[in-house]
Amino acid sequence: MPHWDPSSWTTKAALQQPAYEDPDQLQSVVATLANRPPLVTSWEVERLKSQLALASQGGAFLLQGGDCNESFDACQAGPIEKKLKVLLQMSLVLVYGMHKPVIRVGRIAGQYAKPRSNDTETRDGVTLPSYRGDCVNRSPFTPEDRKTRPELLLGAYDRSAQTLNYLRALTEGGFADINHPENWELDFVSQSARSEEYHQMVRGIGDSLRFIDTIGGVTRADLSRVDFYTSHEALLLPYEQALTRRAISRDGWYNLGTHYPWIGDRTRDIHGAHVEYFRGIRNPIGIKIGPTATADGVVALLDTLNPDREIGRITLICRFGASKIGDSLPPLIQAVEASRHPVLWSIDPMHGNTVTTDGGIKTRHFDRILDEVRDSFTIHASHGTIVGGIHLELTGNNVTECVGGTGGIQSSDLGRAYESNVDPRLNYEQAMEIAFLIAGRAREAT
């Protein structure tokens, strides 16, 4: 591999980076961060990679989900628990329906930087820098809030550590115990259309566990914990560089600020700084692929980012949109197959389906999201390739951000509980609906 170190990206053009007024202050924050302990270990990262390798071959399924944009304010017990609850419930539906292990990954504990279409935002004739996520500036539309502040990087590290600490305690300490799915109930679930189906399934699993217990098979301790991994878009390169470390007991560099970083659709230029950064880390990585990607371009990215063709290294997170997937995905599958690069194909049915209402609110139609999921399964089936995962923006809060679904959210409901300050997320019911859809597809296919 041509020379690489964690700062090599600085020799290339880095898109979507905020302008810091005082580069010395930024450097001093980066130096502080570089001395902080890592948040994850290379052992965990490698274990995830081997599970993703299995998923790429059909032996497991990746469930990746969480906020579009984590906020510092939401680093609290309640929102963290709720997100974990939704992901645990969805994974139970998927395991039960697909008969395969589910790899649970949150867009969590580090998802604090956002790419934006414009550097500035204008409201009522006033123009200010765009909000770029809580690790860069703040969302309220005032000059003070929109100022880029390097110390927010330390705030992001601290919140990531606190979030991850709580997630580890919950997933290791009995909360996720499959013998006690009541731990993951959400208050408003009984009103949900899928509630009865879910609870019936949970009762069935309870019966099976008691049966296994009586004949003596699996010990209850085996089922009292789950693996849970973190991911975020590695967008803000000074932060990612500071969390990039040499592994303790193996060769190479790892991003130890998260298990599973991904490259955004807007920053995957093969000559750009992000690809340069990702080239040198050993983590499994995601690449967001949108309608502007060409088949040759994707294969070139695979050549650069996975020259050794390591299985589990690359996840292609396809986010074309329901109206474009039919034209965009087949040539890509054909080119990747012809290149013989091993990849895990995942679906992000969110980012290609964002629309703005007449009232100027960003939303997504649930039916278009379902269409993209269904089409993705159909297209892969016709090519003999495997959908190995799904990537969703969701929350455990009972929000009204995406329209449609069994809860019948209309555009007029969007104002009622719209909490996201970037992209609209699925609420609990909508997220569960997708889990049931995928589980049903898997049943039909077998």
- Residues within the interface to ligand PEP (CB under 6 A): 68, 115, 233, 264-266, 288, 319, 351, 423
Q: Which is nearer to ligand PEP, 264 or 388 (CB)?
A: 264
Q: Which C-beta is closer to ligand PEP: that of 146 or that of 391?
A: 391
Instruction: Give 104 or 319: the residue with its C-beta nearer to ligand PEP.
Output: 319
Q: Which does 115 bind (CB under 5 to 8 A by kind): Co ion, ligand PEP, none?
A: ligand PEP
Which of 423, 424, 426, 429 binds Co ion (CB under 5 A)? It is 423
Judged by beta carbon, residue 68 or residue 431, the one nearer ligand PEP is 68
Least spacing, CB of residue 252 vs Co ion, in Å? 30
Residue with smaller CB distance to ligand PEP, 311 or 329: 329
3-state secondary structure of 231: strand
Q: 9: helix, coil or strand? A: helix
DSSP 378: H
Stretch that binds Co ion, among 60-68, 158-166, 181-189, 238-246 (CB under 5 A): 60-68
Tokens, residue 252: 């190479």
Q: What minimum distance in Å lies between the beta carbon of 304 and Co ion?
A: 25
How near is the Cβ of 423 to Co ion at its closest, in Å? 3
Q: What is the DSSP letter of 114?
A: -
Longest CA–CA separation in the chain, Å: 72
Residue 244 pairs with which residues in a beta bridge?
255
Closer residue to ligand PEP (CB): 171 or 230 = 230
Site membership for Co ion, residue 233 (CB under 5 A)? no
Q: Write down the least CB distance from residue 62 to ligand PEP, Å.
A: 15
Q: What is the DSSP letter of 222?
A: G
- For 40-43, the CB contacts below 8 A with 24+ separation are 40/164, 40/230, 40/256, 40/257, 40/258, 40/259, 41/248, 41/256, 42/247, 42/248, 42/249, 42/250, 42/254, 42/256, 42/282
d(CA 345, CA 325): 13
| CA–CA separation, 176 and 181 (whole Å) | 7
Does 68 help bind Co ion (rule: CB under 5 A)? Answer: yes
Name the minimum Å distance from CB 114 to ligand PEP: 6
Residue 135 makes contact with Co ion by CB under 5 A: no
Q: Which residues, including other chains, have CB under 8 Å from residue 311's CB and lie 6 or more apart?
A: 53, 56, 57, 342
- Residues that bind Co ion in the complex, under the rule CB under 5 A: 68, 423
